[in-house]
Amino acid sequence: MLKIGRKQNLDALHQLGGLHCISQAMFTAFTLKIFDHISDRQKTLQEINQQLHYHAESLDRLLALLASLKVIKKNGRFYKHYKHLQQYLVSTSPNYIGDIYALYDEGRKKWSTLSDLVKTGIKEEPLPSKNPEKETEFFQKAMRSKNVFFAANVVKKIVLESPSTLLELCVGPTSYTVHFLKNNPDLTVKALDLPTTIPISKKLFDEALREEPEAESITKRAQFIASNIFEYDFPPSDVEAVFYGDALHIWDTEENQKIFNNIFTTLKQGGKVYIYDFFMNDKGTAPLSSLLFHNHMNLFTNNGKVYSFKEVKKMLVKAGFSAIKCQRTEKTDHTLIEACKKGK
């Protein structure tokens, strides 16, 4: 039996070689909209395939595999959704995660070049984008899909003053923004991202609030800022808190040091910065998800990496922060780091 992150036996080593088959099965089910044709009532293969018109035997084999993985339920000739999973699998659900699987598939193609990168250290130059706006929206929707799992849980752990202003850097799909505003009725959020990203951020923000009764009042407390993070003029002593989520890994130590210095400047005395991301232990050996992402960043970026708490603490201290602490968050493989700009 394969146990990720533990000592492996020979059988487990063989299983490691086949893990890509599972991800491909899931990606296929999402791409072909198979989950949309399964419901919370029992359906036969013929009923599921009534509108799909796929090859019946191949579809049946895929459904059986998904049932073996406990993604869907099989009872004799019948298939159905598990109630607790259906919301993540059906494309019309606001909690749909299929977009992140599309991004995983893009990543799979890039990972096939890992052997060349390890041998030469030479990274492939990305091809010019044919449709930058479409690609940005694709990526941000994938990030929203990923954040379904933990955004609400992370925001609950952050206690903010009331009233206060929060600067959120690299806001992306606004998953955290929405929860910050919903949880803190006296909070204003300044949401910053690239000029090419902010229009998509606004669109996803509006979509997230579509069924929200307090949508109008929430929207009034969100201020979107279109700027490169290194070109933004961080106003001195401007905000009570800064949230720097899912972005630390993009830049190298020198670039992140500049960001932390600017965060320190823009915080009021007693203000706090919250950093949420993948982190490694100080030995660089765990957790597995962080090591996978560490290699992922090596494939996809020039300078991106996963940091240890020790490395980030050193940068924060250099910027002037104190009272630095971290905690693992539930239902996620990320860590939340908090640091304070102490009052004089």
Q: What's the pLDDT score for residue 89? A: 97
CATH number of 141-340: 3.40.50.150
Specify the amino acid at residue 271: G
Whole-prediction pTM: 0.91
Q: Alpha-carbon Rg of the chain, whole angstroms?
A: 22
User: Does a cis peptide bond (omega within 30 degrees of 0) precede residue 163?
Assistant: yes
Is residue 202 packed enough to be buried (19+ CB in 10 Å), middle (13-18) or exposed (0-12)?
A: middle
Taking phi first (over 0 means left), then psi (-120 to 50 degrees means alpha), and beta for anything else, what does residue 270 get? left
Q: Low-confidence residues of the chain, pLDDT below 70?
A: 1-8, 329-332, 343-344
Token readout for 211 is 């069924």
Q: What's the pLDDT score for residue 12? A: 76
> For 196-207, what is each residue's pLDDT tens digit?
999 999 999 999
CA dihedral 84, 171, 197, 112 (to 10 degrees): -60
Locate the domains of the chain by residue range.
10-89, 141-340
Q: What's the pLDDT score for residue 169? A: 98
Q: What's the pLDDT score for residue 332? A: 66
CATH of 10-89, one of 3.40.50.720, 3.40.50.300, 3.50.50.60, 1.10.10.10: 1.10.10.10
DSSP summary character for residue 184: -
